[in-house]
Amino acid sequence: MKFDLVVTDNSSSARAGLMQTDHGTIETPIFMPVGTAGTVKAVHQRELKDDIEAQIILGNTYHLYLRPGLDTIQKAGGLHKFNGWEHPILTDSGGYQVYSLSDIRKIKEEGATFQSHIDGSKHLFTPENVMDIQRVIGADIIMAFDECTPYPCEYTYARKSMEMTHRWLKRCCDRFDSTEGLYGYNQTLFPIVQGSTFKDLRKQSAETIASFEREGNAIGGLSVGEPAPEMYEMTELVCNILPKAKPRYLMGVGTPMNILECIALGVDMFDCVMPTRNARNGMLFTQHGIINIKNEKWKNDFSPIDETSDLYADQVYTKAYLRHLLQSKEILGAQIATLHNLHFYLWLVKEARKHIIQGDFIQWKNKMVVDMGKRL
């Protein structure tokens, strides 16, 4: 992987970059749609590329490992071949899902044992086998196995957990560096900063993670319930320590406002289920504010879903029609709303990049975060 900074903003820590992977180049800052089980829910691969203009998507190691399973993915020739998405993919390490989805899990030095949320079967994730699993899945960027602490979190627990995450990282790197990709293209491993909302832990973790000198770095353990100001404070602190020349990935963030604020703090990559999950519940993000399309007020509003958008679905369908579809639990409602939100998120980071290059990012960002937060 190769990362080039194209422009660094004068009035903030925002940056515009170019990330090159064997599956294509990514313009940063970028938002990565979440494709949990090898599919971005309700969206065709063709729509992801042509309508949403996604440049990289996420897969979840936990889900893919359980279903369809490694045997099928390996026989397919990796996730790209399995799901027909020929562009870059990033996989998380499965750690977050072990903690959030499994009924029973136990974390110890060796790794995490858990029961499948699908069939109750028992499994063990270790730093080593999570590397092996991500070799089989074959994403361009893979993540270290970490523990994501909840919020709020006791200081002592946060410290011990962070220290274990650092030890696990050493094991991840050892395994990753002694193995090779299975499908003839390169993979790169990103480590993850933890430390909950404690400044000294975050500082210590960022310094430790930076010392591993991987090709990119991630910030985990945020957007787990803490107030936004705390998220921004931790992100700023960590970004100031992580190397400037490498991409920074803030995991699981966030609202359109969160994303612009964190771009200003120096983050290059984002992922979040919000645009897809909230779409299915009728929440639409637009540059003028948030629409709850299920509200009675849209019942007879026959204007296009988003007049400012060049997306097919935003032009052809009306607010009243989308409301009807979601009220009636029609699949097409989920399809349209998801297309809209993902297209908006990708438009937003593209605009941010444009303004970073133009040199007026901060003025634009300050206006956008006010506008986008309104309730329409």
Residue 137 is a binding residue for its own copies (CB under 8 A): no
Pairing relationship of beta strands 15-21 and 2-8 according to DSSP bridges: antiparallel
Residue 294 is a binding residue for its own copies (CB under 8 A): no
Tell me whether residue 94 is annotated as binding.
yes
Tell me whether residue 310 is annotated as binding.
no
Residue 21 is a binding residue for its own copies (CB under 8 A): no
Q: Which helix (H) or strand (E) holds 326?
A: helix 319-327
Tell me whether residue 93 is annotated as binding.
yes
Give the whole-angstrom CA distance, residue 359 versus residue 367.
Answer: 15
> Partners of 283 in the beta sheet?
292
Give SS3 for 255.
coil
Give the whole-angstrom CA distance, residue 294 versus residue 284.
Answer: 10
Give the whole-angstrom CA distance, residue 181 versus residue 187.
Answer: 6
Q: How far is the CB of 72 from its own copies (least distance, A)?
A: 6
Does 103 qualify as catalytic in the annotation? Answer: no
Beta strand segments in 43-187, E: 57-59, 89-91, 105-107, 112-115, 122-125, 141-143
> Which of 9, 51, 271, 306 is flagged as catalytic?
271
Q: Tokens for 19?
A: 């990330």
> Which of 92, 140, 268, 306 is flagged as catalytic?
92
Give the whole-angstrom CA distance, residue 211 versus residue 188.
Answer: 16
Q: Of the candidates 53, 154, 174, 330, which one interacts with its own copies according to CB under 8 A?
A: 330
Q: Of the candidates 96, 125, 190, 321, which one interacts with its own copies according to CB under 8 A?
A: 321
Q: Of the candidates 100, 308, 327, 358, which one interacts with its own copies according to CB under 8 A?
A: 327
Nearer to its own copies, 71 or 109 (CB): 71
Work out whether the CA dihedral 88, 351, 41, 306 comes out positive or negative. negative
Q: Name which of residues 22 to 81 contact its own copies (CB under 8 A).
A: 37-46, 67-68, 71-72, 75-77, 81
The closest alpha carbon to 269, from 9, 87, 90, belongs to 90
Residue 302 is a binding residue for its own copies (CB under 8 A): yes
Is residue 126 a contact partner of residue 145, using CB atoms and an 8 Å limit? yes
Residue 273 is a binding residue for its own copies (CB under 8 A): no
Residue 317 is a binding residue for its own copies (CB under 8 A): yes
Does 92 qualify as catalytic in the annotation? Answer: yes
List of residues contacting its own copies (CB under 8 A): 37-46, 67-68, 71-72, 75-77, 81-84, 299-300, 302, 312-313, 316-318, 320-321, 324-325, 327-328, 330-332, 334-336
Residues annotated in a binding site for substrate: 92-96, 146, 194, 221
Question: Hey, which residues are catalytic here?
Answer: 92, 271
